[in-house]
């Protein structure tokens, strides 16, 4: 038996069609939601991610502002960039693409973003609101995973969920969201003992360790739901062959391009899981969809009919 494939592109399209109605209402009220993406230097992966985010804005009719400070920019210079975006009326959402160059203090930069424009959900105020189970901007990748689970009818209440990875961007917020959905949550990481044994107890596995094809079939209880957050670029031919020995199409693509995109989950897991997200075309499209959703929400809260939440946070920052 093969797992059901949880198609992220279809779920993204559903979310976009819901967002289009909301955007049309804002445009009719004279508000065009705007996203500013700050990309420091020219890390190729960051460039690609930011250009996909800007393209999504164009597709939905949102305004976008691509800000590209030099890699040599100091923390002080970047704080000035963020402060200017905080002030701008036409900017509803601000994202600073991570990672930043090593000489820049990322905490200072993230703390400077107005929490009411923090569409990545990385500001400590929004992190705290998420932990407390109060409305906030939720980091886009774990928010996207929740959309996949909900819209695919996967039961979370009472489920054993294992989150592999404890990053601030994915693992930690993912654990909170699953907990709020009444799952019993275990967070594993590189120092966890007997990782495969712990993972095998899970009804839902979220793999977010950043290690190509690390989660093999022996980690998975038959029938479990497996969400693969990994986006690893494999350039080593022997490693590509280890992963894709039974997938001639993937190996042909590797030989043509010199690299192949691999999730954290080994492709053989599809034979044992009940449902699984592919890479590419699983979680990835949802990350951008949730960024769009958060930007529209930011515009609505800040410039739409107005709420106590927005008024408080705009006034304070
Ligand atoms: N780097 C990797 N993932 C993300 C993300 O979701 N947002 C930002 N700003 N940077 C990232």
The mean predicted confidence, pLDDT, of the chain is: 95
Same-domain pairing of 36 and 161: no
153 and 100 fall within a common domain = no
Give 246 Cα–ligand 1 centroid separation in angstroms: 32
pLDDT of residue 1: 65
The verdict on 174 and 272 lying in the same domain is yes
Q: Domain check: are 47 and 89 in the same one?
A: yes
- pLDDT above 60 for 214: yes
Pocket test for ligand 1, best of 169, 171, 285, 286 (most atoms within 8 A of CB): 169
Residue 254 within a domain: yes
- d(CA 20, CA 27) in angstroms, rounded, equals 10
Tell whether 34 is covered by a domain. Answer: yes
84 shares its domain with 219: no
Q: Is it the case that residue 33 has pLDDT exceeding 50? A: yes
To test the pocket of ligand 1, the residue of 50, 53, 66, 98 to mutate (highest count of ligand atoms within 8 Å of its CB) is 98
Q: What percent of the chain has pLDDT over 90?
A: 94
Q: How far apart are alpha carbons 100 and 53 in whole angstroms?
A: 17
Q: Is residue 124 part of a domain?
A: no
Q: What pLDDT sits at residue 305?
A: 62
Residue 136 confidence class, pLDDT cut points 50, 70, 90: confident
- Same domain, residue pair 264 and 154: yes
Region 35-53 average pLDDT: 96
Cβ(97) – ligand 1 distance below 6 Å: yes
Instruction: Read off the CATH number of the domain in which 233 is found.
Output: 3.40.50.720
Q: Assess if residue 179 is contained within a domain.
A: yes
141 lines ligand 1 (CB under 6 A): yes
Local confidence band at 308 (pLDDT 50, 70, 90 cut-offs): very low
Q: Does one domain contain both 98 and 232?
A: no
Confidence at residue 140, expressed as pLDDT on a 0 to 100 scale: 98
Helices then strands, each counted (H, E), the chain: 12, 11
Are 98 and 231 part of one and the same domain?
no
Residues 6+ apart with CB under 8 A from 32: 26, 61, 62, 63, 90
Indicate whether residue 140 lines ligand 1 (CB < 6 A). yes
Q: What is the mean pLDDT of residues 92-118?
A: 98
300: which residues sit within 8 A by CB, 6+ positions away? Answer: 22, 26, 33
SS3 of residue 262 by DSSP: strand
Quote the ligand 1 centre to 58 CA distance (angstroms): 19
Distance of CA 271 from the midpoint of ligand 1 (Å): 31
Q: What is the pLDDT of residues 170-180, one digit of tens each?
A: 999 999 999 99
Q: From CA 244, how far away is CA 119, in angstroms rounded?
A: 36
Residue 314 CA: distances (Å) to CA of 86, 87, 114, 147, 302:
10, 10, 8, 28, 7
* Residues 157 and 81 grouped into a single domain: no
Answer yes or no: are the C-beta atoms of 76 and 83 closer than 8 Å.
no
Query: Where does the pLDDT of residue 316 fall: very low under 50, low under 70, confident under 90, or very high at 90 and above?
Result: very low
- Would residue 130 count as lying in a domain? no
Collapse the DSSP code of 104 into the 3-class scheme (helix H, G, I; strand E, B; otherwise coil) and give the result: coil
Asked whether residue 198 falls in the same domain as residue 279, the answer is yes
CA distance 221 to 203: 7
**Residue 135 confidence (pLDDT):** 77
pLDDT tens sequence across 56-72: 999 999 999 999 999 99
Q: State percent of the chain over pLDDT 70.
A: 96
CATH of the domain at 93: 3.40.50.10860
| 169 C-beta closer than 6 A to ligand 1 | yes
* pLDDT(309) > 80: no
- Report d(CA 162, CA 188) in Å as an integer: 7
Is residue 208 in a domain?
Answer: yes
Query: Which run of H or E residues covers position 233?
Result: strand 232-234
Q: Answer yes or no: are the C-beta atoms of 222 and 268 closer than 8 Å.
A: no
Judgement on whether residues 164 and 109 belong to the same structural domain of the protein: no
What's the domain count of the chain? 2
For 150-163, what is each residue's pLDDT tens digit?
999 999 999 999 99
Domain containing residue 43? 30-114
| 104 pLDDT more than 60 | yes
């Amino acid at each position: 038996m093969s797992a059901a494939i949880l198609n992220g592109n279809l779920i993204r399209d559903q979310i976009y069609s819901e967002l289009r109605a909301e955007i049309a209402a804002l445009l009719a009220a004279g508000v065009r939601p705007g996203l500013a993406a700050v990309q420091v230097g020219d890390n190729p992966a960051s460039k690609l991610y930011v250009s996909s985010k800007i393209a999504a804005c164009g597709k939905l009719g949102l305004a976008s502002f691509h800000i590209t400070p030099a890699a040599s920019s100091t923390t002080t210079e970047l704080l000035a960039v963020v402060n200017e975006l905080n002030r701008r009326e036409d900017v509803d959402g601000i994202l600073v693409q991570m990672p930043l160059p090593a000489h820049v203090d990322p905490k200072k930069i993230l703390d400077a973003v107005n929490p009411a424009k923090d569409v990545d959900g990385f500001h400590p105020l929004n992190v705290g609101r998420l932990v407390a189970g109060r409305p906030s901007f939720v980091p886009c990748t774990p928010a996207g995973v929740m959309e996949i689970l909900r819209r695919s009818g996967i039961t979370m209440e009472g489920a054993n969920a294992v989150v592999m990875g404890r990053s601030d961007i994915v693992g930690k917020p993912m654990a909170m969201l699953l907990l709020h959905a009444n799952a019993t949550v275990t967070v594993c990481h590189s120092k966890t003992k007997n990782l495969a044994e712990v993972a095998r107890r899970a009804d839902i596995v979220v793999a977010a360790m950043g290690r190509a094809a690390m989660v093999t079939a022996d980690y998975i209880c038959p029938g479990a739901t497996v969400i693969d957050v990994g986006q690893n670029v494999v350039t080593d031919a022997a490693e590509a062959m280890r992963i894709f020995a039974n997938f001639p199409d993937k190996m042909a693509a590797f030989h043509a391009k010199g690299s192949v995109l691999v999730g954290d989950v080994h492709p053989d897991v599809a034979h044992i899981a009940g449902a699984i997200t592919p890479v590419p075309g699983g979680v990835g499209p949802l990350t951008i969809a949730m960024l769009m959703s958060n930007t529209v929400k930011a515009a609505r809260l800040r410039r739409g009919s107005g709420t106590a939440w927005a008024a408080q946070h705009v006034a304070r920052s």
